[in-house]
Structure 1
Amino acid sequence: MPHSRNQSLREARTGNHHSGSCPNRRQVLVGASALAAVTGAGALLCASPSHAQTPKRGGRLRIGVSGTSTTDSLDPRAITGAMVGVMIGQLRNGLIEVNADGELVGELAESWEATTEGADVWRLKIRQGVEFHSGKTLGLDDILYSLNLHLAEESGSPLKTVLSGISNLERDGDDGLTITLSTGNADFPSLLSDPRLQIMQDGDTDYEKGNGTGGYVLQDWEPGLRAFATRHPNYWKADHANFDEVETIAIEDATARVTALQTGSIDVMNSVDRATAHLLTAQGDLELVVQNGYKHYTLPMRADTPPFDNNDVREAVKYAINRQEILDKVLYGFGYLGNDHPIPASLPVFATPEELPQREYDPDKAKFHLKQAGLEDLTVQLSTSEAAFDGAVDAAQLIQESAAPAGITVDIRRKSSDGYWSDVWRNDPWVMSYWSGRPTADWIFSEGYHSAASYNDAFWKNERFDKLLMEGRTELDPVKRRDIYVEMQRIVSREGGQCIPVFAADVLAKSTKLAHGPVAVNWDMDGYKLADRWWFA
């Protein structure tokens, strides 16, 4: 049930949120006995944080991570992939972050409030006494510079569309920033929690040096290979950045990551192979952390390119995919079915099955839509790579098999992981991809589905959708707002260029020597803040 209008607006306006006493039900720690219950069933379990205790300092954390490329960059306008994500969680801070309960918490913005009833003017109080790695003290010039990196006319940033509602930035005393929006937006503080919205030092354009206010100072960085950082001696967060050193190692091959963890070469890894996850816990000194968040696997079809410029073809493809098979055989139950829109079931605006029936595998309906498009059969190329998501190649083969009875021949084109995001994604007509998701409907729709969005990887345009997006952003009545977002989900599901077969849990594996509190699920690896929040027991 949506919050009341006053409650929702009050929480968004003031930046005052209170954590509950229970761990977030969307994140669980799974041991050997619990794994049997979750594997293949997608069940959610609740467990205590791993070795929860007072954080200790010391040691070198070694992170094995997939989602890397030699084209990786620390330019905040060009952040892609898990390796860079977990690095910026070490090196830089944002204005606002998301905690394990999904609540907004002040980072470099100490507090925030809407100063108008229409939520179109916001004041941020900027934290004082924060130091960059360079030794410079954080000031309003740095905040303004960092925001304008994304807002500039030729920025090329994917956040440009998300932040497009900002019409004016103005200093308010020595520690305040007033942000005026062209239209009200009760969700505006959530937009400032994007980890790509890092605060840079004013005028700094040498992005690859990693200068920031984060808990670690970059010492060495080889894109697509390795990064090494040491603790920032003047870090402003107490009980954070507890490791002396952090080594982030690119290991794209899932088997190689597991071997590195089992032999003690790394302490934690992302993207565990769900098929063999139970074997890791059998070792006794390893355990899993399962994050059921916003991540979803996508199959964007370029709606500006034949044959996908015909919605009947797109509908045929959606009906020709057996998504239950992907959930069972690729995710092994670690997730749930998608319905061709990006809103997770955990959000109150999620369209229920009564409002938007779950799309089922139906070759006959696929054939019907092919006929509506004037086709008896169809041959299409699907570009894939393990860079898209773990199990993407296997998922492509399942799609190939399930599409055949519908008269659709899927020609799988396996691409190199290196350069997949720069050369294949947003270039080939039909590809495999994933989204980490976003904590609000306005955010994910603005960044990936609006006609002018730079991450609109289906190149899909719909005037009604764009109009509803603006209406939903300014509507403060939660019931009316939810109705708007439900209609938008229907439009995307039935007319959009995205096929979204499943939502996937992030599964990490780690040494039992690593300790942590409740884990955030907004992004992989504890919201990319693993090195900032965890410690050795």
Structure 2
Amino acid sequence: MSPRTRLASIGWTPWRLGPVDRSDHSSTPRPADGFGRRQFLRGIAATGVVAGAGGLLAACGGSSSSTTTQLSQASRAPRRGGNLKLGLTGGSSSDTVDPHKSLTYLDTSRLQSLYQPLVQLNTQAQIEYVLAESITAHQGSLSEWIIRLRPGVTFHDGKDFTADDVIFTFRRVFSNDFTGKFGLGPIDLKNTKALDKLTVLVKMTKPFASFAEQLAAFWYNLYIAPAGFNPAKPVGTGAFMYQSFTPGQRSVFVRNPHYWKSGLPYVDTLTLIDFSDNTTLQDALSTSVIHGAGALDGPQIASLATTSGIKTVVSHSGEIIPFTMRVDQPPFNDVNVRQALRLLVDRPQMIDSALDSYGVVANDLFSPYDPNFDHSLVRPAQGDIQQAKFLLKKAGQEGLTVTLTTSAVATGTVAMATVLAAQAKAAGITININNVPPGVFFGPNYLKWPFAQDYYNYYPYLSQVAESMLNGSPFNETHTNNPHYTSLYNQANATASPSLQKEIQYEMQQFDFTQGGYIIPAFIDTLDAYSDKITGYSAAKVGQPLSNFDFEHFAFVA
């Protein structure tokens, strides 16, 4: 079974939340919405609905493919009109058009078309202002922020977009305990208020210098809804307006004639189609039933690359599938054991064997596109078995036997676990694989497994730390609770100095590299394919398929 097959049986395709080419991090060393997906799986696990299947995350690869595609589009002039049909797997009867309930790629593809966030991560994994024009510290205080909103924006029903809609959205995600609340950090909702129609004063309970970054990281959980939003009448500010929606089957949206971005979108109609599996998805693209297919498998991309009328796109993303070691339980409470396991990994072999070669070497650090990423922290790519043995002997753990819990919850998880177990034998370690169904993995023992795996799309560094590295983080799989590390995180949020930010984050990454509980062998690619009759797409580095769902720029070729 390919490591990129999906959990079509439950209609669930996970993803998470950047600009470096393969050459930039092949020799050096990718939440945002993990909470919603895990919460969803844990809920349905109790009902017994979850069935085992292949990996969930998407991947795309190949620098030459993506470069060729981008260059070939330069002379492909767009024309207006037409019905653009795009396909993904993972739909189900629980599909949604609620702006704050996204659970799958398909959900986000719909929401990104209908709604817009204040800020987001663009295809280059950079912060891009959308409905906000600026987010600045108020009078120099990192505990108060001014959000200035874009004027002249209207919702699909003709209502003006104002500060009241932003405050309504913030309150809605908190009152319903939606995932988007994690992007708002230590917000003081009671004292957050509108200063005028286009200005919001956001109060925090403590300094939060990474506010804009974390809003962007959680953009697909923080789409702005109009005050008094009625989920039965999905109204947003996006490039497309709602026409029809059949959960688990298809969505049909039409061009927003009053869209605030001049000249966009190009197409008149956008149809998003749910497919039961990647084979039927590939067949639909090959037979021109659809014009684009996202989140494909490695072998499919190899096949489609030689198919007439099809162009493939490989995106080098910051997506990660870390092996997670609980630092509060033996044997992983000994840093020598953790470092030994990190040193035994042959990373290129892992990528070739488990990921169909669609990935680049990582060095146990996350957030490769963050401007403060420390590229100097590098492990031996093929591993260092002798040093691993030395550390195991130092820890008194020669001949160590451990159990690794895995599940088909992300692209390549089971395959990566199998490869790690094989590689560990060279260091005298026996890794017994405990392959459980996804519903069990995300059941009561989720975040309790001593040695397991997880997955994340690209996050900027401090956002990923908030997601999984602090005591109280929603996904602290490793149970990291280091007071100095937490203090550094708070210090980073308490300064606006770029140089001091970099200094602090470099120190934090030293901790990640020398003491952390993650083994991160690779940054995983994302794979898409398109008909040569359309243009406007590009490679995207966050980990989302189909050009970050930037459908307003998709067009038929003139």
- Tell me the TM-score normalized by structure 1: 0.79
The equivalent of 1:521 in structure 2 is: 541
Residue 137 (structure 1) aligned with residue 160 (structure 2)? yes
Partner of 2:8: none
How many residues align? The count is 498
Query: How far off is 1:500 after superposition?
Result: 1.1
**Secondary structure of the corresponding residue to residue 297 of structure 1:** coil
- Deviation per CA, 1:317-364, whole angstroms, max 9, x where unpaired? 3334332212223445443211212120x43322233x5545752444
Q: Does the 8 Å CA contact 2:65/2:312 hold for their aligned counterparts?
A: no
Question: Does residue 396 of the first structure (1) align with residue 417 of the second (2)?
Answer: yes
**Helix, strand or coil: the match of 2:147?**
strand
Verify the 8 A CA contact 1:322 1:361 in the aligned structure 2: yes
Contact 1:287/1:511 (<8 A) preserved: yes
> Are residue 436 (structure 1) and residue 457 (structure 2) matched?
yes
Give the Cα separation in 2 of the matches to 1:410 and 1:74. Answer: 43
Unaligned runs of 5+ in 2: 1-18, 24-59
Distance 1:67 1:88, change over 3 A: same
1:536: Cα distance to partner? 1.7
State the alpha-carbon separation in 2 of the partners of residues 319 and 127 from structure 1: 50
1:230 CA displacement: 3.5
Q: Partners in 1 of 2:276 and 2:149 — Cα distance?
A: 39
The alpha carbon displacement at 1:380 in A equals 0.5
Task: Pick closer, same or farther for the CA change 1:232–1:172 going to 2, 3 Å.
Answer: same
Aligned-CA RMSD value: 3.7
Q: Provide the rounded CA distance (Å) in 2 between the counterparts of 1:460 and 1:82.
A: 30
Q: Equivalents in 1 of 2:159, 2:440: separation in Å?
A: 36
Q: What's the CA shift for 1:486?
A: 1.5
In structure 2, how many angstroms separate the alpha carbons of the residues matched to 1:302 and 1:202? Answer: 43
How many Å separate the matches in 2 of 1:419 and 1:231? Answer: 42
Name the counterpart of 1:242: 266
Compare relative contact order (CA 8 Å, sep 6+) and give the higher one, 1 or 2. 2
3-state SS of paired residue (1:294):
strand
1:321 to 345, 367, 388: 345
CA distance in 2, matches of 1:462, 1:158: 26
Corresponding position: 1:536 with 2:556: yes
Contact 1:161-1:452 at 8 Å conserved across structures: no
- Amino acid aligned to 1:394: A
Could you report, residue by residue, the CA deviation over 1:99-127 in whole angstroms, capped at 9, with x for unpaired residues? 45555443222344444245554322223
2:49 matched to which residue of 1?
Answer: none
Contact 1:382 1:410 in 2 (8 A): no
1:455 aligns with 2:479: no
Q: Unaligned stretches of 5+ in structure 1?
A: 1-23, 29-37
Q: How does 1:325-336 map to 2 (within 5 A)?
A: 325-336=349-360
Aligned positions of 1:291-330 closer than 5 A: 291-303=315-327, 308=332, 311-330=335-354
- 1:346-385 deviation digits (Å, cap 9, x = unpaired): 43322233x5545752444444555526563213132221
| Separation (CA, whole Å) in 2 of partners of 1:182 and 1:485 | 22
- 2:374 is aligned with 1:351: yes
The alpha carbon displacement at 1:159 in A equals: 4.0
Partner of 2:229: 204
- After TM superposition, give the deviation of residue 76 of structure 1 in Å: 5.2
Structure 2 SS opposite 1:172? strand
Q: Is this contact kept in 1: 2:470–2:476, CA < 8 A?
A: yes
CA distance in 1, matches of 2:374, 2:477: 23
**Which 10-residue stretch deviates more, 326-335 or 289-298?**
326-335
Could you list the per-position Cα deviations for residues 14-59 of structure 1 after superposition, in whole angstroms to 9, with x for gaps in the alignment?
xxxxxxxxxx77599xxxxxxxxx9878898474362566643333
Q: Quick one: which amino acid aligns to residue 507 of structure 1?
A: L
1:378 counterpart letter in structure 2: T
Q: 2:525 — aligned with what? A: 505
The superposition leaves residues 445-471 of structure 1 with CA deviations (integer Å, 9 ceiling, x where unpaired) of: 222322222133433322221111111
1:383 aligns with 2:403: no
Q: Residues of 1 paired with 2:91 and 2:388: CA distance?
A: 36
The answer to whether the Cα contact below 8 Å between 2:346 and 2:381 also exists between their aligned partners in 1 is no
